[in-house]
Amino acid sequence: MNYTTLARSIIRGDRKAAARLISVVEDEEEGYGEAMDMIFSASGRAGVLGITGAPGVGKSTLVFELAKGFRKEGKSVGIVAVDPTSPLTGGAILGDRIRMSELSSDPGVFIRSMGSRGGTGGLSLQASATVRILDALGCEEIIVETVGAGQTQVDIMGLADTVVVVTMPGSGDEVQSIKAGLLEIADIYVVNKMDLPGSMSTAADLRAMIDLVEDWKGWKPPVLLASASGARGLEEVAGSIRRHREWFSDPEAHMERRASQARKEIYDIIASGILRAISSAVTDEEMGELVRLVAERKMSPYDAARKVAGSALPGADLYKAL
Amino acid sequence: MARKIRVLIAKPGLDGHDRGAKVVARALRDAGMEVIYTGLHQSPEQIVQTALQEDVDAIGLSSLSGSHDVLFPRVMELVRKNRMKVLVTAGGIIPEEDVPALRKCGIAAVFGPGTSIEEIVKFHKDRLGRRS
């Protein structure tokens, strides 16, 4: 299969081609780089919104409601929903569509479910390529939903223009809200399930945390109460997203964030490409033998890593790197 | 990298029983596949659009309400219309005498009550010929 043909079809609006190229990238099949170059040139128009938060706080329901809002404005929508891959079997149940089934036959919506596969930061390693493909396909708004994220799963920051962190009442005391990680990356906080007791104090804790920072450099994250399933507070969420986007749309002012996103993406592509190239330099049998030796403590894992990398990169001074 | 088998488990129509569908989804997950489950009450159009967007290798249709003889052929019709290469199987409560017609419209296998999980997993692995 020639992937550049797929890329051309995608740019013409072929949804099936988009679905196929996403699989090619996910499966890390060889030789899609040129197609992704073409996709890159045809992308860059979509707004990218990230939705993250702990499992069960209502991310999928919020994504569904926000997507419906974009559709009412006449915009086409892409949704990338990531669910966890089993670390034991590599399998996954991807169930985010359950909350969005009303959208699945809408020709203006493209939903793709992804397993997190190797990704540990709340996204799949290939999520950014998937966003690009949907952008090139012509989706005007792209919403990325992370896996139910814990405290350090902050990859979404490297992908989205606007990050919404969703939380709910009873998800921890004041100290939880001043810890580092997820709660530092929000552009907008949504306290969902606002009809549950404690929603006001959860919002107050978040606001107190935000007020500790003296200079927000032009954007102070709002804390909004909402009930995604009860369709309450959603206008305010959509309004804040719009305001953040206007603020963020000045490229000069936000070069720093764009640069850190670009840096991360370059390193991610290098890391997965090099790992792929190096892994293919040893056979499964050779690798199995090294694994056995390390497991039996007859060889150090560093030594094994140098042996594998050494066969792909002859002459490199591996003692410096590994 | 190993290619992963992706399977859509779908519940067409107004049938509200999805225990079986969930058991099959779970078993395919444990066999290393990515399983997309869409929940209840899907129309054939929704199922086929989902399969297309998700680029699945297989669709498993589950019905316990007796509407299989209308809904399953409609799914097959849309699969053909969209020129999709996808393995479609069926499960649930499907009378013996309805099986030949379903097979004839392109459903690759009908897994009735009593089918072992291993059989369903093996069927998908054999037919899709991908490692996962």
Q: Does A83 touch chain B (CB under 8 A)?
A: no
Kindly state whether residues A155 and A183 are assigned to the same domain: yes
Residue A255 located in a structural domain: no
Which whole number is the average pLDDT over A207-214?
86
pLDDT higher than threshold 70 for residue A176: no
pLDDT higher than threshold 80 for residue A125: no
For residue A76, how far is the Cα from the chain centroid? 20
Give the per-residue pLDDT at B15. 87
pLDDT higher than threshold 70 for residue A317: yes
Kindly state whether residues A11 and A109 are assigned to the same domain: no
Burial of A184 (0-12, 13-18, 19+ CB in 10 A): middle
Which of A240, A32, A19 is closest to A139 using CA atoms?
A19
Q: Does A283 touch chain B (CB under 8 A)?
A: no
Considering CB atoms only, which of A26, A94, A112 is closest to B35? A94
Count of CB atoms within 10 A of residue A283's CB?
Answer: 9
Minimal-distance CA residue of chain B relative to A111: B53
pLDDT higher than threshold 60 for residue A20: yes
Kindly state whether residues A23 and A51 are assigned to the same domain: no
Give the per-residue pLDDT at A253. 67
pLDDT higher than threshold 50 for residue B131: no
Kindly state whether residues A60 and A137 are assigned to the same domain: yes
Give the per-residue pLDDT at A18. 98
Per this entry, what is the length of chain B?
A: 132
Phi, psi of A31 (to 5 degrees): 85, 30
Q: Which residues of B touch A115 (CB under 8 A)?
A: 4, 34
Kindly state whether residues A198 and A244 are assigned to the same domain: yes
Kindly state whether residues A30 and A148 are assigned to the same domain: no
Kindly state whether residues A228 and A295 are assigned to the same domain: no
Kindly state whether residues A134 and A107 are assigned to the same domain: yes
Give the per-residue pLDDT at A261. 86
Residues with Cβ within 8 Å of residue A265, at least 6 apart in sequence:
A128, A158
What percentage of chain A exceeds 70 in pLDDT? 97
Tally of domains in chain A: 3
Give the per-residue pLDDT at A249. 83
Q: Which residues of A120-152 are buried (b: 16+ CB within 10 A; e: fewer)?
A: ebbbbbbbbbbbbbbbbbbbbbbbbbbbbbeee
Residue A258 located in a structural domain: no
What does the pLDDT look like over A232-283, one tens digit per residue? 999 999 999 999 999 988 877 688 888 888 898 898 888 888 888 888 888 8
List the domains of chain B with CATH numbers. 7-125 (3.40.50.280)
Residue A141's domain is classified under what CATH number?
Answer: 3.40.50.300
Residue A257 located in a structural domain: no
Kindly state whether residues A143 and A194 are assigned to the same domain: yes
Q: Which residues of A64-84 are buried (b: 16+ CB within 10 A; e: fewer)?
A: bbbbbbbbeeeebbbbbbbbb
Phi, psi of A164 (to 5 degrees): -105, 120
Minimal-distance CA residue of chain A relative to B53: A19
Which whole number is the average pLDDT over A41-49?
94
Give the per-residue pLDDT at A82. 93
Kindly state whether residues A37 and A75 are assigned to the same domain: no
Residue A89 located in a structural domain: yes
Paired strand residues for A72: none
Count of A–B CB contacts within 8 Å? 91
What does the pLDDT look like over A72-91, one tens digit per residue? 999 999 999 999 999 899 99
Considering CB atoms only, which of B29, B43, B84 is closest to A93? B29
The domain boundary, picked from A208, A225, A249, lies at A249
Residue A256 located in a structural domain: no
Structural domain harbouring A222:
46-249
Measured CA to CA, the distance from residue B112 to residue A112 in angstroms comes to 30
Q: Does A104 touch chain B (CB under 8 A)?
A: yes
DSSP state of A273: H
What does the pLDDT look like over B77-90, one tens digit per residue? 999 999 999 999 99
**Hey, are the CB atoms on B38 and A93 less than 8 Å from each other?**
no
pLDDT higher than threshold 70 for residue A175: no
Considering CB atoms only, which of B3, B32, B53 is closest to A111? B53
A178 pLDDT tier (thresholds 50, 70, 90): low
The domain boundary, picked from A249, A283, A310, lies at A249
Residue A60 located in a structural domain: yes
Considering CB atoms only, which of A27, A105, A276 is closest to B49? A105
Minimal-distance CA residue of chain B relative to A275: B1
Q: Does A89 touch chain B (CB under 8 A)?
A: yes
Kindly state whether residues A104 and A233 are assigned to the same domain: yes
Give the per-residue pLDDT at B93. 94
Mutate one of B29, B43, B45 to test the A interface: name it (highest A CB count within 10 A). B29
A34 pLDDT tier (thresholds 50, 70, 90): very high
What does the pLDDT look like over B20-63, one tens digit per residue? 999 999 999 999 999 999 889 999 999 999 999 999 999 999 99
pLDDT higher than threshold 50 for residue B132: no
Residue A304 located in a structural domain: yes
The answer to whether the CB of B90 falls within 8 A of the CB of B61 is yes
Residue A254 located in a structural domain: no
The domain boundary, picked from A249, A275, A309, lies at A249
More confident site: A300 or A175? A300
Kindly state whether residues A110 and A221 are assigned to the same domain: yes
Give the per-residue pLDDT at A251. 75
